[in-house]
Amino acid sequence: MTSATGAPGAETGRRLALAREIADRYAVHEEVEAVAIGGSVASGFVTDASDIDLYVYLRAELSLATRAEIAGTGSTHAEVANAFWESGDEWYDDATGIAVDVILRDPAWIEGQLDRVLRRHEASVGYTTCLWANIRSSLALFDRHGWYDRLREEAAVDYPEPLRRAIVARNFPILRDAMSGYRSQLAKAADRRDLVSLNHRVAAFLASCFDILFALNRVPHPGEKRLLELVESLCPIRPAGFAADVEALVRASAGDRDVVAVTDRLTSGIEGLLRADGLR
pLDDT above 50 for 229? yes
pLDDT tens sequence across 43-64? 777 778 889 999 999 999 999 9
Comparing 6 with 91, which gets the higher pLDDT? 91
Rounded Cα–Cα distance for residues 63 and 246 (Å): 45
What's the CA angle centered on 150, arms 144 and 156, to 5 degrees? Answer: 140
Rounded Cα–Cα distance for residues 223 and 101 (Å): 16
Rounded Cα–Cα distance for residues 278 and 234 (Å): 21
Query: Mean pLDDT throughout 183-191?
Result: 92
- What pLDDT is stored for residue 8 in this prediction? 53
Rounded Cα–Cα distance for residues 214 and 167 (Å): 10
What band does 35 get if pLDDT is binned at 50, 70 and 90? very high
Comparing 2 with 115, which gets the higher pLDDT? 115
- What pLDDT is stored for residue 6 in this prediction? 38
Beta strands across the sheet bearing 99-105 = 77-82, 88-92, 99-105, 52-58, 32-38, 139-143
Rounded Cα–Cα distance for residues 221 and 157 (Å): 14
pLDDT tens sequence across 151-164? 999 999 999 999 99
Superfamily of chain region 10-155: Beta Polymerase, domain 2 (3.30.460.10)
Cα 13–chain centre separation: 23
Rama region for 39: left / alpha / beta (φ>0; ψ in -120 to 50; rest): left
CA atoms within 13 A on the CB side of 230: 18
Question: What is the chain's mean pLDDT, rounded?
Answer: 92
